[in-house]
Amino acid sequence: MTLTPPAADTTPAPIGRRLVDVSSLPKFAFGHRDPLWWGVWLLICIEGTMFVMLAASYVYLRGNSSQWPPAGAANAPLAVTASTVALLLISIIPTAIAFRAALDGRLRVIQLNMVLVTLISIAAAGTRWLELTSIGYNWNSHAYGSVVWGFYFMHTFHLVSGVFENLVFTALLFIGPVEKKHMVDMRLSAIYWLFVVVAWTLLWGLFTFDSLLFRNSIIS
Amino acid sequence: MRLLFATFQSPLHPAGPYARAIERLWWVFFAITAVIYVLMLIGFALAVRKGARRKQADLSDEATRSGARFITIALSATTVILIGLLFTSIATGRDISPVDDKVTREIKITGHQWWWEVQYAEARPDMIVETANELHLPVGERVKLILDSDDVIHSLWIPNLHGKRDLIPGYDGVLTLTADKTGTYRAQCAEFCGLQHAKMAFLVIVEPKADFERWLTAQRLPAPFPKTADQQHGQQVFLTSTCVMCHAIKGTSAGARTGPDLTHLASRRTLGAGILPNTLGNLHGWIANAQTIKPGVLMPPNPLEPNDLHALVAYLETLQ
Amino acid sequence: MNDQELHLRLSATWHKPTGLWGWLTDNHHTTIGKRFIITAFVFFILGGIEALIMRTQLALPENHVVSNDLYNQLFTTHGSTMMFLFAVPVMEGLGLYFVPLMIGTRQMAFPRLNQFAYFSYLIGGVLLYVGLFGNFGPDAGWFAYTPLSGPEFSPGKRVDVWAQMITFTEMAALGGAVSIIATVFKHRAPGMSLNRMPLFVWGQLVTSFMIIFAMPSVMVASGMLATDRLIATHFFNKAEGGDNLLWQHLFWFFGHPEVYIIFIPGTTMMSTLVSAFTKRPNFGYLGMVLSLIATGFIGFGVWVHHMFATGLPQLGLSFFTASSVLITIPTAFQFFSWLTTLWHGKIHFHSPILYSFSFIVIFLIGGLTGVMLASVPLDWQLHDTFFVVAHFHYVLIGGAIFPLLGALTYWFPKLTGRLMNEKLSVVTVSLLFVGFNVTFFPMHQLGLMGMPRRVYTYLPNLGWTNLNLLATVGAYIFGLGSLLFVLNALISARIGVIAGDDPWGGADLEWATASPPPAYNFLYVPTVRDRYPLWSMEPDQPLVTGLATDRREILVTKLMDAEPDHLYETPDPSISPTLVALGAGIGIIAAIFNPWGVPIGFVLAGLGLLGWFWPKPPHKELLEPQP
Ligand code: HEA
Ligand code: HEA
Ligand code: CUA
Ligand SMILES: [Cu+2]
């Protein structure tokens, strides 16, 4: 806090009062100093809770079923589902680099890595499409189908929005003009993308390694 | 009519050990919370009087200290009382859910929209008694009720005998209870179950062992063959109209399970799941158009010729 | 530049657009907050009228005022309206209006999110009432248990209307919550460290966090219900491996926190009133704050006490008895604190404090019956009877509506510039108090006499007639009181006594500006040195200068100690958030008839979002490309 007279074009000083002049403060800040950072994390809390509730429903339904997954319920081939996860996980690297570079505004590095993130995320959306078309049951086949399709629906929704966001963002980085303040947004969108990646990795792990996670896979 | 509802459906008129334990617990809770309530109100009245008479707010350290002391004491007392209540409650909870299943009889009760199916289990299938909307219990015996539902969630509540337990499709709920006072008690569905949740009740008749056995034996018999021509005509009406699509009368070809078993209809005290006394007039009205009595009921109106209807009722009246 | 000139400049920058276009585009927190409050009151009246119809039906046995079909729609709509369209939004509305004023800032953190929230809320509420008036109102109760609410036993569109209404109101509540949290964390006036925030603001913070972690659960649940109904998934279909208790767990995991989301703001209004009318800080500030937080946490661990009768294992149930009992301790702390504050304060008898006294007399009964219900054996007898109906009206109306009406009377000047008529207020609170108890006290006894809830009628010979008649009479008295409150508000807003900035000698920053506040809230953003800034304000308490006057600039401060940190520009009025709500609305409503509504709504909302996030022309430091 400084107690100095205000700059000319901003709120002036009333006569005879002690003052806190804020005109020289920065116009943006990184991390938890930024209101939008809270907005993004709260959004992640909300959606994360939704994913947790879905996962909890999976575990609950599983506990009440005699056979889980039901006989003949074939998931998409492991190779395909695993490649989606692999792509998502790989995308963390350029995301992290861009995230770091945003701190001191190294535009070239950011541009390069955002292009990579975008390409990888598009590829992941592609393998996701392959997954969706090769699941061996439907959402109306049985409760297992409903809940796993629920995972897919919720997450694909996020994945598509994430891809879209990456695309728009990367385009803006090239079209410009790029403000310093955009670096804050860049980091926020990276955080959100990481959430999209982590959420799926956990959900995928849950239903793919079901038999490892839960001992009594087939009770009946 | 008076006799029908002579004993009210109230948890405060227990007719069995479990309901009695809960009633006792209720009075314990009631007394303690009433005392707390009165004390708190006195406290507030005093505080308001004090605060109203002051010249100005007391901001002294002394006030802060005495306030803190009061809060600490009051909060500790609250905690102690709460722990006491908690343990009393848990103790009662144990008393009323016996684990040592020393039960003499299993009865399966299935909820339907909006009536109750009752089945007395027996080892031999032909000994099984099926009835509806009326539960007979021998006094002093511990019976186990197996609770299931055929459609939505219902809740079985016989307040004079025990607390309620939900009937959830696919879950076999269990409620063990004992009645130690003979009498007629009323039970009502407690979980909202659709259009006629309000009119889904039944009577529980607790009777001496001998009476109960007599009743049970009678219920095992198939329906007698109708004697008079009128009654025989009535049976024909029953067997040739839509009734057979939903109802069963043992001893005839009617065997459908959608509606209540009517084999011993005339022995029951109520119609339509505990809402009407089982009289000739009511039976007429019910069969002609149950919708006016219980709107939404899953039994369609039956536009029968007057004499057919008459004969039908006459036949049903023989189903003792 | 003198104050007058500054006022003109700030007014131009922060001007609130008017007319229909203004109504669709304004995002100022006072506008949105007031709108939430008024809309919520409209729903309160609608829900109240439904309650009166129900009470009229129940006045006599075998009555024929409404059919059973309509009765079921009425109590479902009544419960859903009161919980989702009245109690939660009205509390949030007060938060939107007063939090920025109480923490000394010019705007909320995410004004467009608030704007979006309001329109979602409006669309959801209108949907419910279009349903009711079009005879496809939901009829499965406000917690819509499956399988009754499922495709098999509730064909038609009724329950779909309910499920989608939930989606809208959840979006609204969540949007408001995110915005409130960020505002409380980042917009506080310099010097207002976390431990100097008014208790009301703490209450808003805690409820917002509860909203964030509770509402997703019911969104997932209502989503599952909707897909079960629309595209034949099997989440709640036993035959295909689904489970009906899953619904109950998911619903009550939200449903119980929900009641504290309504109650916590109520208690903090109590604290505000008690301290304002005793001219004394609340006793045990730290304890009060911890009580709110503890209530918020424990509130997530008691949900199974709504499911005691489902036949879950005893041991598990006892755990939930214990947690339900535990949650009374923070509430007890608050009670003892108010008592002490009243004792050591100087009580000024104005109508708002009468509402607080009613709170104490009424809520206490509700709290104690809550403790009875928390006991598993007692609950087995009392569950789903009118005893429960009595319990929750005692806690809801006693714990939230009475403080709310008191707080509205207290804050009325800040909302309208005028005071409510005092004599009329005293009559109102008396009518409400008497009417309330006459309505709901007999319901305890009805429950103990075996009357289940949600019955459209009962037989004459069960002995329930007199008490029901009494309750009905009471409901009309209470209705008269509510009507009087509404009339008083409408009339006083026009011809009431001009209040001036600070008619009560209040302690918090909202009284440091004009009534009603100008569009920019504070000519100079204030600074704060302790918990009751206006009671301890020094004549030369520093003011903040240096905020831009030509754009909507906000001072962002640090999370813990509220040191000035950086400047942040909040957006001008815009139509996009309204369009997003509209787009989502079209999609969600269309989804009732065809699942393709979801992607369509997604795209429509996406178009609106494009406008929302479209980058503004830069006027800041550009980033130089670096090699
Ligand atoms: C504002 C909302 C609100 C609040 C604050 C509460 C507060 C409490 N509620 Fe209530 N409740 C509801 C709203 C609320 N409830 C609703 C809406 C339902 C029904 C939903 C439906 O089915 O439709 C419900 C139902 C409900 C049930 C389920 C009943 C059933 O369906 O069978 C239970 C059971 O445990 C319960 C318990 C409690 C408890 C223990 C508290 C406690 O928090 C109360 C604590 C307060 C006090 C106890 C008073 C102050 C304390 C003192 C003065 C200290 C001294 C006291 C002692 C030593 C005991 N509530
Ligand atoms: C905050 C929540 C809240 C509030 C304020 C109320 C308020 C009231 N409630 Fe409600 N109630 C619930 C929440 C609430 N309720 C819930 C959650 C349920 C459970 C639903 C379910 O089972 O699914 C329920 C259920 C419920 C039932 C049980 C129904 C049943 O189980 O069969 C009853 C019965 O008496 C009832 C009565 C009342 C009454 C008389 C009021 C009165 O206090 C209302 C008073 C208000 C008015 C009367 C309006 C005043 C306005 C006017 C008179 C018009 C003026 C017009 C102009 C100005 C133009 N409520
Ligand atoms: Cu069956 Cu209510
Ligand atoms: Cu609860």
Cα gap B111→B283, rounded to integer Å:
22
Share of chain C above pLDDT 90, in %: 79
For the record, the structure tokens of C506 come out as: 């209040």
Find the mean pLDDT for residues C252-259: 96
Looking at residue A158, its pLDDT comes to: 93
What is the dihedral sign for C-alpha B58, B62, B66, B67? positive
Asked if residues B227 and B140 have their Cβ atoms less than 8 Å apart, the reply is no
Separation between Cα atoms, residue B281 and residue B294, nearest integer Å: 16
Instruction: Give the C-alpha separation, B191 to B180, whole Å.
Output: 27
**Distance between CA atoms of residues B99 and B20, nearest Å:** 18
Between C333 and C238, whose confidence is greater? Answer: C333
Range with the poorest average pLDDT among A15-24, A113-122, C465-474: A15-24
Tens-place pLDDT, residues B185-240: 999 999 999 999 999 999 999 999 999 999 999 999 989 889 899 999 999 999 99
Please determine, for residue C540, whether its predicted confidence score (pLDDT) is greater than 80: no
Q: Which residues of chain B are within 8 Å of residue C278 when distances are taken between CB atoms?
A: 51, 57
Alpha helices (H) along C81-110: 88-103
Mean pLDDT of A7-30: 70
Residue with tokens 């302790």: C530
Which tokens belong to B117?
């199916």
Largest CA distance in chain A: 84
pLDDT(C593) > 50: yes
Report the distance separating Cα C230 and Cα C592, nearest Å: 7
Of A29-33, B162-166, C346-350, C362-366, the one with minimum mean pLDDT is A29-33
> Rounded to the nearest whole angstrom, what is the distance from the C-alpha of residue B221 to the centroid of ligand 1?
51
Residues ≥6 apart with Cβ < 8 Å to C52:
C475, C476, C479
Name the nearest CA neighbour of C371 among C440, C315, C311, C302: C302
Asked if C284 and B67 come within 8 Å (Cβ–Cβ), the reply is yes
Structure tokens at C270: 């109590």
Q: What pLDDT does A10 receive?
A: 54
> What DSSP designation does C383 have?
T
Tokens of C574: 């815009």
Q: Point out the ligand 1 atom lying closest to the alpha carbon of residue C383.
A: 32
Residue A2, in any domain of the structure: no
Q: How many CA atoms lie within 13 A of C593 on its CB side?
A: 5
Q: Residue A94: which CATH number?
A: 1.20.120.80
8 A C-beta contact, residue C620 and residue C569: no
Q: What is the pLDDT of residues B52-83, one digit of tens each?
A: 999 888 888 899 999 999 999 999 999 999 99
Q: What pLDDT does A13 receive?
A: 52
Task: Please report whether residue A216 resides in a domain.
Answer: no
User: Over 80: is that where the pLDDT of C625 sits?
Assistant: no
Per-residue tokens: C380: 């087995």
Q: Which helix (H) or strand (E) holds A197?
A: helix A182-208
Chain A contacts in chain C segment 424-483 (CB below 8 A): none
Establish whether residue C373 lines the binding site of ligand 1, counting it when its CB lies within 6 angstroms of any ligand atom. yes
Distance in angstroms (rounded) separating the CA atoms of residues A77 and A81: 6
- Neighboring chain C residues of B79 at a CB cutoff of 8 Å: 329
Asked if C233 lies within 8 A of A3 by C-beta distance, the reply is: no
d(CA C48, CA C77): 10
Task: Give the pTM.
Answer: 0.95
Residue C486 gets the label, from left (phi > 0), alpha (psi -120 to 50) or beta, of alpha
d(CA B141, CA B178): 6
Region for residue A176 given its phi and psi (left: phi exceeds 0; alpha: psi -120 to 50; beta: otherwise): left
Compute the average pLDDT of residues C433-444.
96
pLDDT in tens, B26-46: 999 999 999 999 999 999 999
Residue C471 Cα, ligand 2 centroid: separation in angstroms?
A: 12
A2-16, A175-189, A203-217, C102-116: least confidently modelled range: A2-16
User: Does any domain span residue A215?
Assistant: no
Q: Are B27 and B11 in contact (CB under 8 A)?
A: no
Q: Which of C333, C346, C375 sits opposite B56 (nearest CB)?
A: C346
Mean pLDDT of A184-188: 90
Instruction: State residue B120's pLDDT score.
Output: 92
**Domain encompassing residue A193:** 34-65+77-210
Q: Is A38's CB within 8 Å of C109's CB?
A: yes
CB C388 within 8 A of CB C373: yes
CA distance C204 to C215: 16
A7, pLDDT greater than 60: no
> Hey, is A67 helix, strand or coil?
strand
Whole-number pLDDT of residue C627: 39
Single-letter amino acid code for the residue at B304? L
Task: Supply the mean pLDDT for chain C.
Answer: 92
**Chain C residues with beta carbon closer than 8 angstroms to that of A149:** 233
Cα(C240)–Cα(C250) distance, integer angstroms: 19
pLDDT of C355 above 60: yes
Least confident stretch, A87-96, B123-132, B180-189, C265-274:
B123-132
State mean pLDDT over A32-54.
95
Strand pairing report for B201-207 and B183-188: antiparallel
Is a pLDDT exceeding 60 seen at residue A42?
yes
The Cβ-side half-sphere exposure at C483, using a 13 Å CA radius, reads 9
CB C276 within 8 Å of CB C504: yes
Q: Give the pLDDT score at C431.
A: 97
Does residue A220 have a pLDDT over 50? no
pLDDT number for residue C441: 96
pLDDT (mean) for C185-195: 93
Q: Is the peptide bond before C516 cis (omega within 30 degrees of 0)?
A: yes
pLDDT at B3 over 80: no
For C285, the token pair is 């500030």
Q: Are C587 and C593 in contact (CB under 8 A)?
A: no
Residue C386, ligand 1, Cβ within 6 A:
no
Determine the pLDDT at residue C614: 74
Contact A180 C527 (CB under 8 A): no
Cβ pair C182:A145 closer than 8 A: no
Average pLDDT over residues C353-371: 96
- At position C625, the amino acid (one-letter code) is P
d(CA C334, CA B187): 41
- Evaluate: CB of B150 within 6 angstroms of ligand 3: no
Task: Give the C-alpha separation, C244 to C239, whole Å.
Answer: 11
Evaluate if residue B4 carries a pLDDT over 50. no
Nearest alpha-carbon partner for B236 in B146, B150, B308, B158: B308
- For B281, other C-beta atoms within 10 Å of its C-beta total 10
Out of A3-12, B155-164, B260-269, C7-16, least confident range: A3-12
Both structure tokens of B30: 């009631």
Q: What is the per-residue pLDDT for B1?
A: 34
Question: Residue C144 region, left (φ>0) first, then alpha (ψ -120 to 50), else beta?
Answer: left
From the number of C-beta atoms within 10 Å of its C-beta (0-12, 13-18, 19+), residue B240 rates as: exposed
Residue A16 included in any domain: no
Percent above pLDDT 90 for chain A: 59
Q: Which atom of ligand 3 is nearest to the CA of B113?
A: 1
Q: Using the atom order of ligand 2, give the atom closest to the CA of residue C396.
A: 1
Cis peptide before C216 (omega within 30 of 0): no
* pLDDT per residue as tens digits for the range C37-48: 999 999 999 999
Q: How far is CA B21 from CA B95, C366, C372, C378, in A?
A: 8, 24, 15, 10
Contacts of C232 in chain A (CB under 8 A): 139-140
What backbone torsions phi and psi does residue B179 show, to the nearest 5 degrees?
-110, 130
- C-beta contacts of C130-136 below 8 A and 24+ residues apart: C130/C161, C131/C157, C131/C158, C131/C161, C131/C162, C131/C165, C132/C73, C132/C77, C135/C73, C136/C161
How does pLDDT run across B236-275, given as a tens digit for each residue?
999 999 999 999 999 888 889 899 999 999 999 999 999 9
ipTM over 0.90: yes
Does residue C260 sit in helix, strand or coil? Answer: helix
The answer to whether position A117 is within a domain reads yes
**pLDDT band at C619, cuts 50/70/90?**
low
The percent of residues above 70 in pLDDT, for chain B, comes to 97
In one-letter notation, the amino acid at residue B222 is P
Average pLDDT value for residue range C168-195: 95
Picking from C216, C564, C623, the nearest residue to A178 by CB comes out as C623
Ligand 2 pocket (Cβ < 6 Å) reads: C 45, 48-49, 51-52, 54-55, 75-76, 78-79, 82-83, 87, 141-142, 389, 393, 396-397, 401, 439, 453-454, 475, 478-479, 482-483, 486
Ligand 3 mean position, distance from CA C186 (Å): 51
Q: What would the mean pLDDT of A155-181 be, rounded to a whole number?
A: 88
Three-point CA angle C547, C550, C554, nearest 5° = 35
Residue written as token pair 């109230």: B10
Please state, in angstroms and rounded to a whole number, the distance separating the CA atoms of residues C133 and C515: 39
Which tokens go with C142? 């406000």
Ligand at shortest distance from the CA of C395 = 1
Mean pLDDT of B76-103: 89
pLDDT over 70 at C557, yes or no = yes
